[in-house]
Structure 1
Amino acid sequence: MRADTPAGRGRPAGPELGDRTDDELAALYAWPDSPGPTVRANMVTSLDGGAALDGRSGGLGNEADQRLFAVLRDLADVILVGSGTVRAEGYAGVELDDARRARRVRWGRPAAPPPIAVVTGRGLDPGLPLFTAFETAPIVVTPRVAADRVPDTATAVLAGEESVDLAAAIRGLAERGFRRIHCEGGPDLLGRLVDQDLLDECCLTIAPMLLGSAATRLLPTELASPAHWTPVTIGVDGAHLFARYRRTGR
């Protein structure tokens, strides 16, 4: 156990997150054994619930958060993200070096990168990096009314008629073999998943800072009723807290 020094006082015993090997992190964040699709979110927030400033989450995480971000991506079948986040964060296809390809195979995934599946009700500019810089073709989750606006370089998953039906989207991804669905937000998409009781797990990095009222909230959604969660794992690295929660009753 750590000595009770000012830097270490109050921290839990055991290795910090950054001290674990990639395989240990993969075991710690193993997907639940479920016959159907599982939706997991990975988000970062300040102490006062801010998820982004000026539309970007950069600056909230630390080195361990970035490493965990990559591990969680490499454990997934597909990465689900909202169109606003794609534009704000400049999303492109996932790039893997030889080591990450090898560990994906070791963890039971294909060597190729997981595709990015972007949720949009109105279509996106086909010149965005997501549609021009990739190894695995991206997926566009969109309603039928916007089917003609899916870029030629993307695969369409049609879900809903006038607006995106997220439950149908998850079923559509699962039917294509993408059962481990890893969501990276943004807050609007996260809120819709929670409100519709479609989110099974949430991996949350809590940064040791306060952002104030100018920040985008982690969950800017009015929920019909409180959503209850059960902690699965809690870890630390430096001053950052890493929590994994599962929806109560799942």
Structure 2
Amino acid sequence: MRGLLPPGGSPLDGTALAEAYRPPAGRWVRANFVHALDGAASVDGASAGLGSDGDKRVFDVLRAWADAVLVGHGTAAAEGYGPVDGDAGVVQLRRELGRPAGAPVVVVSRRASLAPGDRLAMPSTYLVTCGSSDADQRVALAAAGVHVLVCGDDDVDLPAALDALAAEGLEQVLCEGGPALFRSAVAAGVVDELCLTTAPLLAGGAPGVLGDRGLPEPAPVRLTQLLEEDGVLFARYALSR
């Protein structure tokens, strides 16, 4: 992998790649997506068909820097999410960076759809839901050890959820989607950075990183970094709050 912006072009080893994605100190919300040249964010309903070795390394680095991984319930179910400390490569990288071995997965679900017995229904998991979700379901999940955060009345209040996570020391949050959650986060003005991998292929037929709905108004972004490997582009964009 080599750097294109800032100029230089020198190869990046594992240490340099981790340093290239080091977040600023304090609260920081970044999102990570992979998409095709035509904007499709999935192939056959999953993002795996767009991935590459370089994309996996960036994915691992972003998880290594995160205090928590934020994901919508639908994406967690479709992609087979498990705990972060279940990935030995990420755990090793986190240790090399002086980070704790694991980071909680924070599942966002307006209906509290996570169920006791699910793969993520464990003490390391957070569930962010709203007051209109089933109270008995929330009690059952809390009894299973899940940290249940009720943020908002009829829908999830993402700014309040991020405040609640920060109050528990989870300031560096990595949003891994899906598109509906990312769109809501951008619309709420809580995203600081988008890390976007562009795969050199045309997929077609699938919504992009914001899904199939627009934003209330366009969100300006600024390109801050661009890397390349085997025709795959790895960009970092700063978003204005």
Q: TM-score band, normalised by the shorter chain?
A: 0.7 to 0.9
Picking from 71, 94, 102, the partner of 1:113 is: 102
Whether the aligned pair in 2 keeps the contact of 1:51 and 1:217 (CA below 8 Å) is: yes
After TM superposition, give the deviation of residue 142 of structure 1 in Å: 0.7
> How many residues are aligned here?
228
Partner of 1:145: 132
Partner of 1:219: 210
User: In the superposition, relative to structure 1, how do residues 54 and 128 fare at CA in structure 2: closer, same or farther (>3 Å)?
Assistant: farther
Partner of 2:76: 86
- So what's the TM-score if we normalise by structure 2? 0.87
After TM superposition, give the deviation of residue 131 of structure 1 in Å: 2.1
The letter of the residue matching 2:70 is L
The letter of the residue matching 1:14 is G
State the SS of the aligned residue for 2:235: strand
The letter of the residue matching 1:60 is L
Alpha carbon RMSD of aligned pairs, Å? 2.0
Whether the aligned pair in 2 keeps the contact of 1:92 and 1:131 (CA below 8 Å) is: no
User: In the superposition, relative to structure 1, how do residues 21 and 194 fare at CA in structure 2: closer, same or farther (>3 Å)?
Assistant: same
- Using the alignment, how far apart are the partners of 1:178 and 1:59 within structure 2? 31
User: In the superposition, relative to structure 1, how do residues 180 and 104 fare at CA in structure 2: closer, same or farther (>3 Å)?
Assistant: same
- Using the alignment, how far apart are the partners of 2:128 and 2:182 within structure 1? 15
Partner of 2:171: 179
Whether the aligned pair in 2 keeps the contact of 1:117 and 1:140 (CA below 8 Å) is: yes
- Using the alignment, how far apart are the partners of 1:31 and 1:73 within structure 2? 11
Where structure 1 has 5 or more consecutive residues not aligned to the other structure, the ranges are 3-11
Whether the aligned pair in 2 keeps the contact of 1:96 and 1:113 (CA below 8 Å) is: no
- Using the alignment, how far apart are the partners of 1:96 and 1:109 within structure 2? 15
User: In the superposition, relative to structure 1, how do residues 166 and 100 fare at CA in structure 2: closer, same or farther (>3 Å)?
Assistant: closer
- Using the alignment, how far apart are the partners of 2:170 and 2:218 within structure 1? 29
User: In the superposition, relative to structure 1, how do residues 141 and 207 fare at CA in structure 2: closer, same or farther (>3 Å)?
Assistant: same
Whether the aligned pair in 2 keeps the contact of 1:75 and 1:104 (CA below 8 Å) is: yes
1:52-201 aligned at under 5 Å gives the runs 52-94=42-84, 95-97=86-88, 100-101=90-91, 103-110=93-100, 112-123=101-112, 124-131=114-121, 137-146=124-133, 147-150=135-138, 151=141, 152-201=144-193
Deviations 1:77-103 (A, max 9, x none): 000000110111111111243x75454
Worse overlay, 236-245 or 136-145:
136-145
Where structure 2 has 5 or more consecutive residues not aligned to the other structure, the ranges are none
After TM superposition, give the deviation of residue 65 of structure 1 in Å: 0.4
Worse overlay, 56-65 or 87-96:
87-96
Deviations 1:21-54 (A, max 9, x none): 33211211111234xx211001001111110133
Partner of 2:234: 242
1:24-39 aligned at under 5 Å gives the runs 24-34=16-26, 37-39=27-29
Identity of counterpart residues, as a percentage?
41
- Using the alignment, how far apart are the partners of 2:173 and 2:136 within structure 1? 25
State the SS of the aligned residue for 1:164: coil
- Using the alignment, how far apart are the partners of 2:237 and 2:136 within structure 1? 38
